[in-house]
Amino acid sequence: MTAPVYNFAYLDEQTKRMLRRALLKAIAIPGYQVPFASREMPMPYGWGTGGVQVTASILGPDDVLKVIDQGSDDTTNAVSIRKFFTRTAGVRTTTHTREATVIQTRHRVPETPLTEGQILVYQVPIPEPLRFLEPRESETRRMHALSEYGLMHVKLYEDIARHGHIATSYAYPVKVMDRHVMDPSPIPKFDNPKLDDCPALQLFGAGREKRVYAIPPYTRVVSLDFEDHPFEPYRHAADCELCGASDSYLDEVITDDQGSRMFVCSDTDYCESRRMRDGGNG
Amino acid sequence: MYVAVKGGERAIENAHALLAERRRGDRDVPELTLAQIGNQLTLAVDRVMSEGSLYDRELAALAIKQARGDLVEAVFLLRAYRTTLPRFGASQPLNTDGMDLRRRISATFKDLPGGQMLGPTFDYTHRLLDHNLAAGTEIPQAPLAPAPDTAARSVAALLSDDGLIEHPPEGHGEPADLTRDPLNFPAGRDLRLQNLARGDEGFLLALGYSTQRGYGRNHPFVGEIRYGEIEVGFLAEEIGFAVPLGTIEITECQMVNQFSGGDSEPPRFTCGYGLTFGQGERKAMSMALVDRALRATELGEATGAPAQDQEFVLSHSDNVQATGFVEHLKLPHYVDFQSELGLLRKLRADYFAQTDRADTQKAAE
């Protein structure tokens, strides 16, 4: 038994080439799910193996990597993935959105607007937006091929009929370049508008489901809605109690057993930079 | 006062240290060696190699030790290691007629060329806890018979001589490999068998069992189960002939199932096939049942049972995928949950506003 020697960023070059080919195809057909031969990674399926494989295949030695989960750089899984790349690729890491060239994320889009040259890599659990309406892959692929999205509109309509609102608050479906309906991954719908006309390249990786898809820079991304029930991003009506931000997505934190609560930025880098700038009063 | 949650990195390191501590257990008890696991927990090693799809007893034993005996975790460790290995081709097909048999039984013929050979099996033991084993008593040497000199052709081959059973399908060059190409539907039988061979024993057992209870019944008989050693050959292009890579232990199950045939074809038995590394009879049999169930469409049978649905079976058989996704629910979901909370509060506000209005109206009437 000899100790294994791993390639730069863990994956062998053949695998990276296979992934890059799939990614190029994904970029060429925005919002279309490209099957790829997902590998077993040393972290469990469902914990970001898709995102990790995408990141591994695009990372170069000069890249600066940021990893967030729930908007935070310091949640357990973000720490684990960042460490993985520090160990296998030796790249520089950062918590600052502006400094990063590659940002891997789970469930959030950073509050700080992304810029040209940056790549945002999403971890995706279920890439198929139609999956819960139609469990069969052969069927959903056909529906995408024919742009048969009526079922999705019926679902949203039924929500309105039953609840008075569209009852989807995260993983809210979008249409990319007026063609493919796409799952933006389980980001809160608050983040959906950030996908539209974004200067950065957005890549999505689903390891267990073996799919990648992409939104090239400056692509039109529209959240599905109806004329009389337009899409509304949800945000709790409060300011962050640490930095005072009134435009960021907020986490609710229960502070005692008397039901006291406070609301703070979910994006920890955004919150910290604001407090730093304001001279630490927060 | 709330302090933004920090220190994840430190907490993870500490958790890992505690895991190592628990893995070692009481330091007064001697530490398990890989040789002990490999020799005395043989069937666990076999299962981990099968579902990990990597034949290496020592690495599988290490995985079991590292996983503290959690076999699904051990399978995962082995798979993650396997990905990093280069793949240089497919072996020659195994001719199991030429196996060095340790066990071979048939439920369809009382006696047959090569004979019935019980070998090391739990079958026919009484499942009484053996306290002698707890005390660690010396075990007498088991008597061994010389290998039979008659070749043990498979039951399927014997039946096939009279045309009573379908012929095994012809191979079409390089078999599909779902570790290199994403699984697409409909999947051919080669791909399905690979998926089942890597699939979770418990999942296949339950599905196989369901076919026996009427959810996709296919009248199975164990044509034969054989377990033993076989040499693996690899065709080396450079020298132009097959070279032996080594010897592995396998279990093979050939299930003889209900006939097909009709106007254009004479009736004959059909086959379900199961194969595992090491000794894995439960898995090999379950696999054969499910393989046969998945052929329902091809054989023009009624479909609709879970075991006959290839998208359902093949998408959920892999325990590394399943455990990952089920257990990922432990990861933080603060953001999505917050979004749901917001929506729920809004819906409740609407509800109470409406009932309040209705109450006021009633009071006014």
| pLDDT, one tens digit for every residue, chain B (365 residues) | 444 455 677 888 999 999 999 999 999 999 999 999 999 999 999 999 999 999 999 999 999 999 999 999 999 999 999 988 888 888 999 999 889 999 999 999 988 888 899 999 999 888 989 888 888 888 899 988 887 777 888 888 888 888 899 887 777 778 889 988 888 899 999 999 999 999 999 999 999 999 999 999 888 999 999 999 999 999 888 888 889 999 999 999 999 998 776 677 788 899 999 999 999 999 999 999 999 999 999 888 889 999 999 999 999 999 999 999 999 999 889 888 999 999 999 999 988 998 888 888 888 77
Q: Which two tokens stand for residue B320?
A: 């590394």
The per-residue pLDDT for A46 is 87
Question: Least CB-CB distance to B12: which of A76, A164, A264?
Answer: A76
Q: Of these residues, A164, A259, A271, A279, which one is catalytic? A: A271
Residues 6 or more apart whose Cβ sits within 8 Å of residue B177: B87, B90, B194
- Enter the ipTM: 0.80
Task: Indicate the length of chain B as a whole number.
Answer: 365
- Give per-residue pLDDT as tens, A243-264: 999 999 999 888 888 888 899 9
Question: Residue B202's CB: how many other CB atoms inside 10 A?
Answer: 13
| Residue B152 token pair | 């043990």
**Chain A interface disruption, residue of B331, B333, B355, most A CBs within 10 A:** B331
**Is the CB of A75 less than 8 angstroms away from the CB of B76?**
no
pLDDT at position B363, please? 80
**Which of B2, B86, B342 is nearest residue A255 as measured by Cβ atoms?**
B2
Q: What is the pTM of this model?
A: 0.88
Distance CA A227, CA A232 (A): 12
Answer left, alpha or beta for residue B68, where phi above 0 means left and psi between -120 and 50 means alpha. left
State the average pLDDT over residues A173-189. Answer: 97
Q: Which residues of B284-295 are buried (b: 16+ CB within 10 A; e: fewer)?
A: bbbbbbbbbbbb
Mean pLDDT of chain A, nearest integer: 93
Kind plus residue range of the DSSP H or E element containing B39: helix B34-40
A198 is catalytic: no
Nearest CA in chain B to A68: B332
Say if A274 is an interface residue toward chain B (CB within 8 Å).
no
CA-CA distance, B123 to A145, in Å (whole number)? 53
Please say if the pLDDT value at position A83 is more than 50: yes
For the question of residue A31 being annotated catalytic, the response is yes
Can you give the pLDDT at residue A122?
98
Residue owning tokens 């809160």: A188
Phi first, then psi, for residue B250 (nearest 5°) are: -140, 160
Is residue A2 over pLDDT 80? Answer: no
Beta strands in B192-317 (DSSP E): 221-236, 241-260, 268-277
The set of residues, in sequence order, having a beta carbon less than 8 Å from that of B25 and lying 6+ positions away, is none
| Phi, psi at A46, each rounded to 5° | 90, -5
Among candidates A39, A169, A262 on the partner chain, residue whose Cβ is nearest the Cβ of B342: A169
Range among A29-33, A137-141, A155-159 rated most confident: A29-33
Half-sphere exposure of residue A28: CA atoms within 13 angstroms, side-chain side: 7
Verify whether the Cβ–Cβ distance B1 to A255 is below 8 Å. yes
Q: Give dist(CA A221, CA A58) in Å, integer.
A: 23
Backbone Cα Rg of chain A: 19
Q: Return the structure tokens found at B272.
A: 């379900």
A188 touches chain B (CB under 8 A): yes
**B-chain residue closest to A3, CA distance:** B81
Adjacent-strand bridge partners of B165: B269
How confident is the model over A7-14, as a mean pLDDT?
91
Beta bridge partners of B251: B227, B276
User: Which residues between 107 and 126 in chain A have a beta carbon less than 8 angstroms from any beta carbon of chain B?
Assistant: 107-108, 125
Q: Which of A15, A169, A212, A248 to mutate to test the interface with B (most CBs of B within 10 A)?
A: A169
Q: Which of A48, A71, A198, A265 is catalytic?
A: A265
Asked if B343 and A40 come within 8 Å (Cβ–Cβ), the reply is no
Question: Looking at beta carbons, which residues of chain B come within 8 Å of A4?
Answer: 81, 84
Verify whether the Cβ–Cβ distance A210 to B6 is below 8 Å.
no
Q: Residues 36..55 of A with a Cβ closer than 8 Å to B: which?
A: 36-42, 44-47, 49
Residues A4, B347: C-beta atoms closer than 8 Å: no
Chain A, chain B: beta-carbon pairs less than 8 Å apart? 158
Taking CA–CA distances from A282, the nearest residue in chain B reads B3
- How confident is the model at residue A1, as a pLDDT? 47
- Work out the pLDDT band at A50, boundaries 50, 70, 90: very high
Residue tagged 């077993």 (tokens): A40
Predicted local confidence at residue B4, as pLDDT: 47
CB-CB: which of A40, A251, A262 is closest to B82? A40
Pair of tokens at residue A112: 């700080």
The DSSP line for A83-107 is HHHHHHH--EE-S-TTT-SEEEEES
- CB of A137 within 8 Å of a chain B CB? The answer is yes
d(CA B321, CA B344): 32
- Contacting residues for A47 by C-beta, under 8 A, at least 6 apart: A77, B324, B328, B331
Comparing CB atoms, the residue among A42, A235, A242 nearest residue B80 is: A42
A127, A33 Cβ separation under 8 angstroms: yes
